[in-house]
Structure 1
Amino acid sequence: MIEPLRVIKTTPQLTAVIPIQVSRDDIRKVMGPGLAELKTGVAAQNVAVTGPWFTHHLRNPGAVFDFEICLPVATPVTPANRMKPGLWPAMGIVQTTYHGGYEGLGSAWGEFIGMIKRAGHKTADGLYEIYAVGPETSADPAAWRTVLSKELAED
């Protein structure tokens, strides 16, 4: 299930990121280890994490996923191994929240994109998924919440 559309303006948010390019079939193999590496890198620099982790897909996913695993942080990180400093910029976005397990994200995105089009919004390439509530918080996938976001295209 997804919630109704919301249109909001983000504020700049410092991030720590690990960029990844991987085939669609391999995304599940790299996500957990990449997140663990990022959390370890941020902790090693004593930088505070200020919210849930998320992914930023630089372009709409196809056969290859070109994305960043991200943690919002209080202060900039210093590059180390694959970790780099980043920024979620101020922008207009359209978003919804998906309720359920990760296996339903593909269908949720399809429903979300349909809602965006019916509402007449135009969006830029790429997307964001914020993992607000997941397996680290609840063993019940019905309790999981993933915020789906698309940047609004400027006319």
Structure 2
Amino acid sequence: MSQPSYFAPPHTDVTYLSSPHVPTVVRLAKDVAPDGMPAIFDETFTALVPALAEQGIEIAGPAFSLHHRMPGATMTFEVGMPVAAPLDGELEAGGITFVPSQLPAAEVATISHLGGYDGLGGAWGDLMQRVASDGRQPGLPFWEVYVTEPSPDMDPSTLRTDLVVPYGA
């Protein structure tokens, strides 16, 4: 089985590759306004990472969000962690229900955004435009992989977020 692309050096140009199926443990977030995302992320990782450790579940890569529809006034997405083996059932922690899910196996286009989260919207627009101009149809779900773990005192320019979108011909 191939390794997920986030284990590779940053993709400084759009790269087309086969992404493997990756089991995950996630929080489902439905109809969240964009300004509500930071709180969802903070609550999720504050509860999830210790809960996985307590259960002896091995984290197998960086945090991510998987989006089931194009963003608008609200977003529906999963936020969580890839794990070494699928979760058997639900996991409760910090008042949040976590469920098993997966990053899908797919032919994808990916690029690494290097910089603060405020630049992600433009980076996504550029990626989608490039995929379309290469004669491919961007699809759903698409996801972000937060390769660099953020901290309050870090320089945002050092953040790496991999953008991943499946495509069809």
The question of a shared fold, defined as TM-score above 0.5 by the shorter chain, is answered with yes
Supply the RMSD in Å over aligned alpha carbons.
1.9
Contact persistence 2:33–2:73 (CA under 8 A):
yes
> What count of residue pairs does the alignment treat as equivalent?
153
| 20-29 or 132-141, which deviates more | 132-141
| C-alpha distance in structure 2 between counterparts of 1:15 and 1:105, whole Å | 23
What does residue 67 of structure 1 align with? 77
Aligned to 1:53: 63
8 Å CA contact retained: 1:132, 1:146: yes
Contact 2:24 2:80 in 1 (8 A): yes
Aligned to 1:16: 25
Alignment of 1:2-151 (within 5 A): 3-21=12-30, 22-78=32-88, 79-81=90-92, 82-136=97-151, 139-151=154-166
* CA separation of 1:73 and 1:6: change in aligned 2, threshold 3 A: same
Q: 1:76-130 CA deviation, whole Å, 9 max, x = no partner?
A: 2241231111122211111100010111111111111121122111121331000
CA drift of 1:3 comes to 2.2
Tell me whether 27-36 or 88-97 shows the greater mean CA deviation. 27-36
Alpha-carbon contact 1:15-1:72 (below 8 Å) kept: yes
Equivalent residue, structure 2, for 1:152 = 167
User: Which amino acid in structure 1 is aligned with residue 44 of structure 2?
Assistant: G
Structure 1 stretches of 4+ moved >2 Å = none
* 8 A contact 2:128–2:138 mirrored in 1: no
CA distance, structure 2, for counterparts of residue 23 and residue 6 of structure 1: 30
* Identity within the alignment, %: 27
Distance 1:80 1:150 in 2: 28
Q: TM-score, normalised by structure 1?
A: 0.90
Residue 5 (structure 2) aligns with:
none
- Cα distance in 1 for residues equivalent to 2:112 and 2:57: 28
**2:4 aligns to what?**
none
What's the secondary structure of 1:133's corresponding residue? coil
Q: Which amino acid aligns with 2:145?
A: I
